[in-house]
Amino acid sequence: MGKAVDPKLKQLLRNGGDFDPDTGSDLLSGAATEQGLAWCVAQCDKARSRSAVFRAVVKAVDYPQFFGSNFDSFFDCLCDSLLDQKEGLVLVFDKLHSADPAIVMDGVQFLQVLNDAVGFARKNGRVFIFGIQHAGKHPDAKPGVVNNWSDEPA
């Protein structure tokens, strides 16, 4: 990092923690790559449950097995993924519908696990940075309309 770097960004790259992907992605992406951090994006746009969000994370970090909706297993997935990286990783939750009832219900515990992973990374000489791009709530289902959630929006 030869260029002048914002002190907050420097601290984030040193200690890990959360960042706002809507405002800091470009700056962090370059600095994280320069520092040797893996950049992973969990595509959460279609996720309507905790299990679906975890599935997006499994896919993003290339974890070898899916573990359902268990928070302890989610933590293990993050820790194993961190230990697989030499320096650490950045995990972006892209378009997480954090206002969906099923996701709101688990919000506090979800953030606690992410922050616990930051501490785990620090204790093991790694850096874990996460960012959540909030996408509000999925539209309510319309009676009589069958949605194919695997299709891209038109």
Banded pLDDT at 117 (limits 50, 70, 90): very high
- The number of distinct structural domains making up the chain is 1
- For the stretch 133-153, pLDDT in tens is 877 665 666 677 666 655 555
What integer best gives the mean pLDDT of the chain?
Answer: 85
- Cα separation of 50 and 23, whole Å? 25
Q: Which one of 11-15, 66-70, 117-121 scores highest in mean pLDDT?
A: 117-121
Residue 64 lies in a domain: yes
For the entire predicted model, the pTM comes to 0.83
Burial class of residue 39, CB neighbours in 10 A (0-12, 13-18, 19+): middle
pLDDT given for residue 148 in this prediction: 62
- Cα separation of 133 and 20, whole Å? 7
Residue 65 lies in a domain: yes
- Residue 59, domain CATH: 3.30.370.10
- For the stretch 22-49, pLDDT in tens is 777 788 888 999 999 999 999 988 888 8
Residue 125 lies in a domain: yes
Residue 67 lies in a domain: yes
Mean pLDDT of 11-16: 93
Residue 51 lies in a domain: yes
Report which DSSP code applies to 44: -
Query: Residue 3: pLDDT above 70?
Result: no
pLDDT given for residue 136 in this prediction: 66
- For the stretch 52-100, pLDDT in tens is 899 999 999 999 887 778 899 999 999 999 999 999 999 999 988 877 7
Report which DSSP code applies to 67: -
pLDDT given for residue 73 in this prediction: 93
Determine the structural domain holding residue 96 and report its residue range.
18-134
Residue 121 lies in a domain: yes
